[in-house]
Amino acid sequence: VDGRAIAAAIRREVQAELKELSAGHRPPGLAVILVGEDSASATYVRNKAKACQEVGITSVQIHRPATISREELLDVLHTVNKDETIDGILVQLPLPAHIGERSILEAVDPAKDVDGFHPANLGGLLTGHPLFVASTPLGIMEVLDRFRVAIEGRDAVVVGWSTIVGKPIAFLLLHRRATVTVCQKWTRDLERHTRLADILVVAAGQPGLVKGDMVKEGAVVIDVGINRANGRLVGDVDFPS
């Protein structure tokens, strides 16, 4: 599964679509809010700005110090919520501990919540009618579809139950009529579940958690993990085995 090739194809498609949609109109605007000096977060924000530039989206970066108060950050959000040139808002996570992520994510206008983290969008996902879905789960479904992986009636196992990946991908698979099992750190005998999977999505944040002998022959495995181990990036799946 070549995720990079799929991403490049999608960017080309989005670029062509935006060129057509933006004829005679302003391009869409995306505001990315970054708090503090976390190097990984700064890298993600730069990559988002680069992707926006490539496809023709206006990218606005709002950087605030880690010492900002929750009230001050809420004021920033209220401003971009009302800004008619901003169509989408991303709050780069994690936020400093003193702010509280939940109150900030709930303050984003659901109609601009392109991360899909607002309770209104999460609730829409539960009922099968979301406005926005978190990008990683949506990307996983795009990968499965572009590789023509059959989903209906298949056994899908999700390892990890975060609101960012695990729970949304479980509901997306359910809405496509898969039989879904969600595993987490309290799951007993993880291998018993993973070996049943026709489609296995691993997003646990634990390097090398799933070994080759835990996966049946012919299964489709999507490794979402990004971990740094011994100075290099590794996934949650032990790829060599």
Long-range CB contacts for residues 83-86, cutoff 8 Å, separation at least 24? 83/29, 83/31, 85/26, 85/29, 85/58, 86/29, 86/30, 86/31, 86/60, 86/112
Point out the catalytic residue in the list 92, 113, 167, 223.
92
Is 115 one of the catalytic residues? yes
Is 61 one of the catalytic residues? no
Point out the catalytic residue in the list 113, 115, 223, 236.
115
Picking from 204, 157, 214, 208, the residue whose alpha carbon sits closest to that of residue 184 is: 204
Size of the chain in residues: 241
Is 213 one of the catalytic residues? no
Catalytic residues: 48, 92, 115
